[in-house]
Each structure stands twice: as structure tokens, then as C-alpha cells.
Structure 1
Amino acid sequence: MKSTDKFGTAPLGKLLAEQAIPASVGILTMSIYAIVDTIYVGHFVGPEGIGAITVVLPITFLISSIGMAIGVGGSSVLSRALGNDKRKKAFKTFGNQVVMTLFLAVFFVILGAFFTDDIIHVFGGMGDIETPAIEYFTILLFGVPFLAWAMMSINVIRAEGYPRVAMYAMIVPAIINLILDPIFIIVFDMGIKGAAWATTISYIGSAAFTLRHFIYGKSALKISIENCKPSFPIIKEIASLGSVTLARQGVISVLAVVLNNSLYFYGGEQGLSVYGIINRVLMFANFPVLGITQGFVPIVGYNYGAKLKDRVQQIVKISIGWASGISVVLFIVLMTFAANISELFTSDLDLIKDTTPVIRTVFLATPLLAVSLIISAYFQAIGKAGPALFLALTKQGIFLIPLVLILPLYFGLNGIWMAFPIADVGAALVSFAYYKMIRTKYAKREELDLKQNPKVENLEPLEKLENE
């Protein structure tokens, strides 16, 4: 567990780079394999295949996000426990994460298997897209528990201080998928089913890699029966913080229902295919912010647990600055090469023509994404589920879903695309204003608190509120 000691002592810029670069590389690799997967489907299955993937992925990620939620929530508990040198609690937390992930993932997979057709219809799988969407979803369900385990484990591994191992856990499925896609789709001529099996096997590979880390690797968090016994206080804490991630993914899934059905209504199968490409580009465009956010969380959690408030405030500023700067570079690339990006995914001239201007519209506010994501992650890392949940839901819940419903009434299909940059701007403004309000409000109390009770001088402002 000594690998976490550097979180409280190492220079923050160097520390963030050590944590964020592997996370970013892992996310970038995953986004590249998702892009390549869509390219194969687009060229060898057709626009309907892209539409099918667009319908199915929000469903599978909703189920597998249970693992992500348990991983993120548990990692916050782990990081603060390690910062406080409470190792027994850290071990117990991991054991409870294992049980929660496997039980809930399998339960929801069984539920998904019984209601496959209904679920596909709700998420917009209609017309020519319905049959390939059902085929894709049915196969992908087999891999969802493995994906849930991998997503949980990656967050735990990062919280332990092994960002490179977490990076490899994301690279492994990407390599597997990149190898199997052309074999299954082209050589075996399996079409959309080939893409589904390639993805499912890649999920299994990632799960096996992370399991190896806990059994044979450097991890001190070994799986044991004693630590897996349910501890309801720990489960409650994990669930409280994990609910932020789960709620975010839940809202994203609600957005997918609204968005897919709106796209089908205003743009037909073509509208869904355009968004299938946009969604893949979104994964690529967001990778630096997501990587920095994931690298930022364990650093904040540890330093908050160790009551090193100055380091917490500094890492927030550094992270937002870095993520915003990189996002500006990606913004320029997207605006300049929108047409070339569209051509990567399909040879269908109509689809290329429709997708190019949409890329330029959807990504207009890309540099602002860093503000909302990092500030939301800050509150989650320090164990404040309420503010984290509110900010996590701001973009999709408060802005994007209503805008997707309202703007098309006046602007048609273009109104859906316009909703994205408006939501990004709104979420960034709300997050920044909320963070400044909290800091300002409790900073004013700091001087008075120190005079009345000098023991609180090393506490974060939000922690002082709990002690009042």
C-alpha cells in the first residue's frame, strides 16, 4: 500500500501526469478501438449496423455502469481510508465491491435477457435497425458482467496507486477487439454478430487481466471470504458515492431513449447513423478530460483524507487548466478535419455529407467540458455525494434532455445537434458558479473558525460544516 504515500508528498504536476497519462492512454485506446469497430461495421455491414450499435451501447453500458459506480464510489472510500491509514477498512471495502458488482451485474443481465425486444424498442431500435440491434444486444449481454467487473477493478487499481496497470486493463480489450473485428466481420463474414462477439470476448479479456492483478499481481487487496462478508455501513457509503456515477449513466441512458427516438422521428435511420459516428468521435474528443479526471480523483481523495487542504485546492486548478488546454487543441482538429473524420467511418456519400456539419456543431463547446467534469469529480472524490450528483446530472438532465425535446420543434433535426454545445456551456457555468459559491461561503467562515477552534485549521471547508 506504500504506492499511495506519494499522493500526499509528490509534486502535484508530476503526480497528476503519472496518474492521468496512463488513464488517458487507456481511454484513448478504448476510444480508438470503438472507432475502428464502427469503421468496420460502417464499411462492411452498412449504415444500419452503425445505427444498431448506437441503439445497443447505451443499454449495455447502463448495465455495466453498475460496476463503474461501485468502482468509483468504493475508490473514494478506499483513497480516503488509505489517506487516514485505515487499511482494514480499505480491504473490507474492496471485498464488498466484489460481491456487489457480481451480484448486481448478473441480476440485470438476466433481466435484460427476458425483455430484449422491449428494451431495444424503447431505446429507438425500429425499422431497418431493429433486427441487427437485437442480434448485437443478445450477444453482448454475455460479456456485460465481465465488463462490469473490469470497470470496477480499474477504478480500484488506480486508487491503489497503479495507474499503468489500469491503463493496460483498458488496452488489452482494445487489442483483442482490433484483432478479432476483421477476422469475424470480414474473414468469417459474420456481419454485426461478428462485431458483437469480438466486443464480448474483449470484455472477458479485460476482466481476466484485472483479476490476475488481484490474485498474482502487486495488489495488497486480495480477494478473501472474510473481506467479502457484507458490511452495511461500507455498502451504504459505496452506494451513496457510486450513485453519482450510476445516476449519471442512468440519465445518459434516458438521454439515449429521448435522443434516439427524436433522431428517428426527425431524421429516420440516417439520423441514428449520423449520431453513431458522432458518438464515437465524442469518445475520442473527451479522452484527455476523462483521463485527467480519473487521474485526479485518487489524488484528491487521499489528500482530503490526509487533511492537506492546500494540495486539494491546487490540484483542482492544475487539472482544469491541463484538461482545458488539451481540449482546445482537439477542438481545432475537429473543426478543421470534420469532413475527413466523417469519411473514416463510411463510404456512403449521403452519410458523409450529413455528418460533417454536425461534427462542427456538436463540438463547438468542447473546451468547456473540463470544468463540469472535474468539479463534479472533486465533490465525489471528497465524499460529498449530494453536490457531486447535482453537478453530474447538470449537462444531460437539466440541459440536454429538455433541449433535445424543445429545439427540434423550432429547428427540426438541426435543433438536436444545437442542443449539445448549449448544454456544455450551461453545465460549465453552473459547475463553476457552484464551486466558487461553496469555496467563498466557507472561506469566509475559516478565519472565524480558526479563532474559535484552532483544531479545525487543517480541515477542508466542507468538512468543517459537518463538524458544526
Structure 2
Amino acid sequence: MQKSASSDLGSQPISKLLIKQAVPASIGILVMSLNILVDTIFVGQWIGSTAIAAINVVLPVSFFIAALGMSIGVGGSSIISRALGADNKPKALKTFGNQVALTLMFTVAFAAFGLFFVDQLIPAFGGKGVIFDPAKIYYEIILYGVPILGFVMMGNNVIRAEGKPKFAMYAMLIPSIGNLLLDYIFIGVMDLGMAGAAWATTGSYIAAFLFILWYFLSKNSELKINVSHFKLQSNIVAEIGSLGFVTLARQAVVSVTFLLVNNVLFDFGGETSVTAYAIVGRMSMFALFPVFGITQGFIPIAGYNYGSKQYNRVKEVIYTAIKYATVLAILVFVSLMIFPDVITRLFTTDLEVINVTPNNMRWAFAAIPILAIQLIGAAYFQAVGKALPALLLTLTRQAIFFIPLLFILPIYFGEFGVWMSFPISDVLSTIITAYFLRREVKLNLNKRLEDA
């Protein structure tokens, strides 16, 4: 039965299969995003707006370390999907075992590094002035749980590669729901403040880890590894690294972007501008959850069918995913343009923050309708094992365009230049990705079909 779960990726109709894969992923991302939003609302209403800024300062560090697990998961899952598609189960098992070993080594090492340099890292990421003390409290507790989150992110991607989107969804629901319950207990009832918010998040990571451990030990998973699979194999590690580096680079750039934007906004508008960016940042994952869900559903389908040489199905899933994601992105765009004031008031009662955030939010999300092309295009190259184009296209949005714009535009437009940078970089990166994706379909997929 486990065998048929992955083989469905190469046999079911693409539209049905994409919905089957994308809906659980979207639900998981939605609940996780709602968790982040509600968590921020709890913190803002029960502790204060400065606490929102403090959490936003910590996110780049914790995201980067958690991204180590995610990158190992995504890189290895691309190999697993293609190996299962090519009926090469031994390679899939060895890959999974190497993923576990790599996740343990890297997440623990970087968490230890982050804790050792806590007093230097927090100010560097914008935790200055009154933000420093609450940020340090939150940071130190969160980093104890980040290695556990790394395993959760790695395991979640492997579950999806097996063709089990519902279990991957459960793995995302558990920490989200658990965090909200623990927020209420630790912040609302026990009045533990920032420490309560941090322990709630860490406790939710532990709950998710226990679920994923149960999944792989149970009969639900077809990847039954033993101790021999943990021994690192150079060619597999190299392939995991090259493909996973795409995800790691993206998350690293996100961390750097948070650092830069927090510092630039602090110079222009102080804590108020940093808090406004924190709210916009929270909304970004929530707003794009259906697009991210379709992207996650798309990856194992594209990888499996590429591995089994069903190139017509690969083309079909590319076009179908872009079409579905674009329609949903337009609906999200309309909502954000109409209701930014309502959204802002959910997070805070601070009138200064309420006055500046809505217009900034509109600018930050102005290019959402076209972003599906960029996300799906970059994800395709990662899914089929083409690390270099995947890396370059992934970095176009923030590293190649956004960061230079962040330094240039504020010189001429002040703080407004920061917010203008978001849609301009989105448009430019989408144009570049569309060109290379179209070229790939024409020169690679169509040529392989002609030669078959």
C-alpha cells in the first residue's frame, strides 16, 4: 500500500493530483500562518507593541537555523521523489538516513553558536534600545527548540515526497494549534510575558517532533531506515547539499533582509517603523498561503514524473500550478488592498503603528498577482535536480534585486523607498524567472519528448 502512495504521483490526473497535494499543504501553511498571526496578536495585546518588534528581531536567527533542516529536507526530498519515480528505493532510504544525520549535526552546531553570541547578534538584527531586553529573553529560549524544529521541517518535506500530503499537513497543524493553546496558558493565565511566548513556541516544536517520529516508526511510512543508512555517503551528501543550498540560501537571504530592513527602518522611524514591518512580515506568509501550498504540492509531482520520464505530465503540472496559484493570488491581492486598516488593528492598539502600517502594507503586496510564476518557476528547477538555475532564480527576488533597491531607493525617497523596493523586486524577478522557465520547457522538456 505504501508503494502505491508514491506511484500515484505518476498516474493520477494532474489537476486532481495537484489539488490532492496542494490542499493539505495549503491548510497546513494557513494554520501555521494563523498561528503566527494570532501569536503576534496575543503578544501585542497582552505584552505590548514593543514585544512584537522583539520577536521580529529574533526571527531571522531562528529562521536561519530552522532553515538548515528545511534545506536538508527539500534537497533530500527531491532525490527521494525522483528515486521513487525511477523505482530506486535503496537510494531513497540512504538519502533519508543521510538527511537525519546532517540535520542533527548542523542544527545543533548553529544553535550553540547562536546562543554563544547572543549579545552581539540581537543588536545586529535591529534589537536596539527598549527592544533588546525582551528580544534576548525570547531569543535564548527559542534557540533551545530550534534544532527540534529543524527535524520537523526536514521530516515534513520527506513525508510529502512519499506522497502523503495529509500527514505532512498534520505535522504542520500540531505545532500551530499547540502554540496557541500554550500561548493562552503561559501568557494569558500564568502571565509569563516574553518567556511564556517563547516556551509556548518551543513546546509546540516538541509536540510536532513527536508526531513525525511516530510517523516514520509506524507502518504509514515506506522509508524504513536502519543505522547503516545514517553513514554519510559523499555523492548523496553532495546532491542534498547542492539542492538544499537553494532553500538555505533563500532562507539566509530572508534573514539578511530582515536584518537590513529592521535597521534601515529603525533609522528612519524608530520602533514604530520596525513594528509596522513586523506586522507586514506576519501577513506575508498568511497572504500567500495558497500560493505556497500549490508550490509545495507541485514539487513532488514534478520531481516524480521527471524521474519516471513522463515529460508531458511535467509540462502539464507546471502550467496547471501557475494557473491555479495566479487566480488565488489575485483574490488575496484584492483583499489586502481593501482591508489593510482592519488587519493592522488586529495586531495593535498603538495609534502610531495603526497610522503608518496600512499604506506600507499595500505597497509591500502590490505585485502579488504575478508572483506565482516566480515561485513555481524556481521550484521546478529544484524539483528536477537542477541546482544552479534553481539557486539563481530563487535569489533574484531578494538578493539580486531587493537588497540593492533597499540601499538605493531610500536615498531618494526616504522610508517610502523601503516599501517601494518590495513590488519592484517582485516584478523584476518574475520577468527573469518566466524567461528561463519558458526556455527550459522549450529546450529540455519538448526536446526530450521529440527524442522519445
2:245 alignment partner in structure 1? 243
SS in 2 for 1:221: coil
Q: Is the 8 A contact 2:291 2:372 kept in 1?
A: yes
Tell me the equivalent position of 2:5.
3
Aligned pair count?
A: 450
Conserved in 2, the CA contact under 8 Å of 1:258 and 1:405?
A: no
Paired with 1:320 and 1:117, the residues of 2 have a C-alpha distance of 44
Tell me, in whole angstroms, the C-alpha distance in 1 between the residues paired with 2:395 and 2:260: 15
Q: TM-score, normalised by structure 2?
A: 0.98
Instruction: Provide, for residues 118-151 of structure 1, a one-character-per-residue CA deviation record: whole Å limited to 9, x for no partner.
Output: 1111111111111111111000011101100000
Classify 1:444/1:381 alpha carbon distance in 2 versus 1 (closer, same or farther; 3 Å). Answer: closer
Query: In structure 1, what residue type is equivalent to 2:317?
Result: I
CA shift, 1:400, in A, is 0.8
Residues 365-374 or 146-155, more deviating: 365-374
The alpha-carbon deviation at position 35 of structure 1 amounts to 0.2
User: Aligned-pair distance for 1:155?
Assistant: 0.2
Contact 1:319 1:374 in 2 (8 A): yes
Q: What is the deviation of 1:311?
A: 0.4
Q: Match for residue 453 of structure 1?
A: none
Matching residue of 1:73: 75
Distance 2:21 2:441 in 1: 26
**In structure 1, what is the Cα distance between the partners aligned to 2:276 and 2:308?**
48
Residue number in structure 1 paired with 2:143: 141
1: distance between equivalents of 2:265 and 2:30? 27
Runs of 4+ in 1 over 2 A off after TM superposition: 437-447
Map of 1:465 onto structure 2: none
Deviations 1:405-451 (A, max 9, x none): 1111111111111111111111111100121233334578669xx5x
Unpaired segments ≥5 residues, structure 1: 451-455, 458-468
CA distance in 2, matches of 1:184, 1:102: 29
Per the alignment, residue 311 of structure 2 pairs with 309
Instruction: State the partner residue of 1:360.
Output: 362
Output the CA distance in 2 between the equivalents of 1:305 and 1:446: 13
Cα deviation for residue 339 of structure 1 reads 0.6
2:203 maps to which residue?
201
Structure 1 match to 2:26 = 24
Aligned-pair CA distance for 1:374? 0.5
What stretches of structure 2 of length at least 5 have no aligned partner?
none
Task: Name 1:216's counterpart in structure 2.
Answer: 218
Residue 223 (structure 1) shift: 3.6
Contact 2:315-2:441 within 8 A present in 1 as well: no
Q: Which one of the candidate residues 156, 159, 167 is aligned to 1:157?
A: 159
Post-superposition offset of 1:228: 1.1
* Bigger mean CA offset, 303-312 vs 401-410: 401-410
Distance in 2 (CA, whole Å) between partners of 1:200 and 1:440 is 47
Q: Percent identity?
A: 50
- Correspondent of 1:416 among 415, 418, 429: 418
C-alpha distance in structure 1 between counterparts of 2:445 and 2:182, whole Å:
55
Q: How far apart are the structure 2 equivalents of 1:366 and 1:217? A: 41
CA RMSD of aligned residues (A): 1.2
Whole-Å separation in 2 of the counterparts to 1:282 and 1:363: 8
Q: Could you tell me how far apart the structure 2 residues matched to 1:308 and 1:433 are?
A: 23
- Which whole-Å deviations, capped at 9, do the CAs of 1:22-46 have from their partners, x for residues lacking one? 0000000000000000001111111
Q: Are 2:311 and 2:448, in contact at CA under 8 Å, matched by a contact in 1? A: no
What is the rounded CA distance, in whole Å, between the counterparts of 1:412 and 1:209 in structure 2? 48
Asked if the contact 1:215/1:223 (under 8 Å) is kept, the reply is no
- Indicate yes or no: 2:361 matched with 1:383: no
Mapped contact 2:186–2:200 kept (Cα < 8 A)? yes
